[in-house]
Structure 1
């Protein structure tokens, strides 16, 4: 096994479970399909792993599917493996090719669609389905793949009339098939979608907004690489009109996404590999998405801040800031799990983190994860702005060096309730280049 990748994974497995972006840090996840069922947000991604000995790297090595649900404000619960590659009734064993899935609810049943390499060799990938009475499974898997579908990346649309459509990719095109009421077979034949721009496309994800059908997809420009684009139409089977990009290329690798409305806000889910530094070991992320008045979509810029609204007992990754002044962020060092920190803090530098849920105000203390190579100064936590209500004050103490981390705590100075923006202000002597490194905060 490659030593560099092994080291990454060793750190990764003990890293923080409460984060904003990436959403999950205890394993590698990609191709996130987000769904809201009965007011709760679920994620159905694919799963990257480091290839076993004897499997040549780099390549995507994806043996199974996990799924996640959002608990509290920023904690994603891992419900474990819901389908292993060797449990696919019609699939080739040990193929390590469990690519992007989707899950949709019709009536009181959840339908989970996934691609896999068929044992009969009839196609590069086929698409199968399983059913459950719960969004977290267990699922009962159909013995055969869906006839008439040969491709990858199933994306589902359940229209207002309860008719369902399955979109998928293959042969550098996007296709769509209408499903029968049983959701396990297609009604007629799959057709090629018209109106999609030339170039490699995959990862179709459909949704409806203000009566219009939106088809989003991964689109590769020869001079840019993977982008997330979208087209709109008046019929779920097309034709569609290309409208532009939702997200620019963010690196030399893939992107794959979904779009969902949750708690009144639209969210784009996607993936990146900024933690591993290796584009075959990806991590799912999310950022808010906005529509313009004419129905077009504002381009989304990837952020570390993401969508989380941490609450009491959850870690606030302050390096996923909304605003920073006279300070920087960098990967942590020393004995910390892989992640980021706020560093190079100076006199009156600050970092702002919005949307922290203080709930009913029951928090009595604040905890911070810090490192410092000096002992002069302190940092304050205030509400709203640098002169806002002071709610906590931490002294700066020598921890053994800038890569030696300690967890410290201080009492809350004021009762704080509801959703608030916080700002951390760093104070020391003028001219100091470093006051303290700050990884995370937590209210308890």
Structure 2
């Protein structure tokens, strides 16, 4: 572990302490959260709002945990009603709060949460006190709350009869709840109505591909078809796959790949699939904020589509992610939807502190980036501000996709190489939700941090 990430995590810990006392807004685009490491996101819709329950990668205190492995001591919950502005509701559970768990295991791995009987049930895996090494030392616990964001009260015992990790709970339309988990293979069982005890024999899903590491089941239903989805190391790293059935207990017929192996080489992926406001989304993770260490991960989301026959269309990861961005917000165009094949790139603002985010570098004539879904409002903006810099000076044009290459503003970036905010009037009455294009029109190179419109 490098000193850089230790320094970053110290800042992260301070922010988390603050979050314990009050909810505060987080980032948007991909990755969704920019002030801490997050992984294994389970997305759920409660009371018309989307909540994400991830695990929380940290750098453990010196002498604790495993420096070159996953270290997770607690859980946060995040929520949004527009998929753009995320609120961190703070820590909802710590390993030291669980009476049956090893308080120094740093193994609070991938969780899940569901609602039933007017209560919220948070399922989490961790190592049992006194357990030996390996996944046999893990079980799954439950914490209960009256609200999605807690506070959660952990139950005094883990679920009897369950050994393993990565709990997933699916509640069918008839109210029957099912628990799935993994330990080398994927298992499933019915739950009693109290959501705390098993109510059937445990089934091993042997029909799921057995070659290569497999974990992280997530089950959902659509149009009468049950989908079993899971990460699977078929080649080098985990990709997301799925099978379908007419029964939540299978058997599941293997159908294909939801998402290919990560281009970054991150060994794990862990996901959930949710329908929110009549659109399906895939939540997953990668190592955006920790490119040199894939045990510190960041949650992401992209739109997911189905074919007419019910097959899942493969999801291609994007920087842009999901949600509509207000034109009056600081538009992080480094999270672009697409870019020119030349002279455009997204790089860290500060390689030593990835939490500061990225910038766009435009260094070839006419190089451009496109940022989808910007809400310019009913009346449209009157001017634009750009945080940028250029050693030799230059200019960028702001354009709307599909409007005959006509720019609606041009911003001159003065030479000097220091970051500054440059402004310009907006020429035309650009309104409604549009795709924004930022294009270099003069100069040898311009770096752009963000774009923001004003009335």
Kept after mapping to 1: 8 A contact 2:365/2:441: yes
Q: Which residue of 2 aligns with 1:182?
A: 194
Q: CA deviation at 1:357?
A: 2.0
Aligned-residue Cα RMSD (Å) equals 2.5
Q: Report whether the alignment pairs 1:424 with 2:438.
A: yes
Kept after mapping to 2: 8 A contact 1:18/1:314: no
Q: Which residue of 2 aligns with 1:268?
A: 282
Secondary structure at the aligned position of 1:308 is classed as coil
Q: Could you tell me which of 186, 207, 232 is aligned with 1:219?
A: 232
Q: CA deviation at 1:144?
A: 1.1
330 and 46 in structure 1: CA distance in 2 versus 1, 3 angstrom threshold? same
Ranges in structure 2 where 5+ consecutive residues have no aligned partner: 16-24
Q: Could you tell me which of 282, 293, 309 is aligned with 1:294?
A: 309
Kept after mapping to 1: 8 A contact 2:302/2:318: yes
134-143 or 331-340, which deviates more: 331-340
Q: Report whether the alignment pairs 1:317 with 2:326.
A: no
1:178-218 CA-partner distances (Å, limit 9, x unpaired) = 01111111112322123100132110000001211000001
Q: Report whether the alignment pairs 1:304 with 2:304.
A: no
Structure-1-length-normalised TM-score: 0.91
C-alpha separation between the residues in 2 aligned to 1:338 and 1:272?
Answer: 17
Q: CA deviation at 1:427?
A: 1.4
Q: Report whether the alignment pairs 1:58 with 2:71.
A: no
C-alpha separation between the residues in 1 aligned to 2:370 and 2:137?
Answer: 49
Q: Which residue of 2 aligns with 1:346?
A: 364
Count residues with an aligned counterpart: 434
Q: Report whether the alignment pairs 1:20 with 2:35.
A: no
Q: Which residue of 1 aligns with 2:400?
A: 383
Instruction: Provide runs of 4+ in structure 1 moved above 6 Å.
Output: 10-16
74 and 58 in structure 1: CA distance in 2 versus 1, 3 angstrom threshold? same
Q: Which residue of 2 aligns with 1:153?
A: 166
1:140-162 CA-partner distances (Å, limit 9, x unpaired) = 22111111211111111110101
Secondary structure at the aligned position of 1:315 is classed as coil
Q: Could you tell me which of 408, 411, 414 is aligned with 1:397?
A: 414
Secondary structure at the aligned position of 2:325 is classed as coil
Q: Which residue of 2 aligns with 1:355?
A: 373
C-alpha separation between the residues in 2 aligned to 1:135 and 1:414?
Answer: 45
Q: Which residue of 2 aligns with 1:207?
A: 220
Ranges in structure 1 where 5+ consecutive residues have no aligned partner: none
Q: Could you tell me which of 124, 147, 165 is aligned with 1:134?
A: 147
182 and 359 in structure 1: CA distance in 2 versus 1, 3 angstrom threshold? farther
Kept after mapping to 1: 8 A contact 2:189/2:202: yes
1:26-81 CA-partner distances (Å, limit 9, x unpaired) = 00000000111222111000000113212442011101000101254512211110
348 and 252 in structure 1: CA distance in 2 versus 1, 3 angstrom threshold? closer
Secondary structure at the aligned position of 1:86 is classed as helix
Secondary structure at the aligned position of 1:28 is classed as coil
1:72-116 CA-partner distances (Å, limit 9, x unpaired) = 451221111000110012211121110000011124221111112
Kept after mapping to 2: 8 A contact 1:18/1:76: yes
Secondary structure at the aligned position of 2:334 is classed as coil
1:259-313 CA-partner distances (Å, limit 9, x unpaired) = 1112222111111113211111100111111111221112112111111321144
13 and 354 in structure 1: CA distance in 2 versus 1, 3 angstrom threshold? farther
C-alpha separation between the residues in 1 aligned to 2:430 and 2:156?
Answer: 55
1:124-151 CA-partner distances (Å, limit 9, x unpaired) = 1111112222111111221111112111
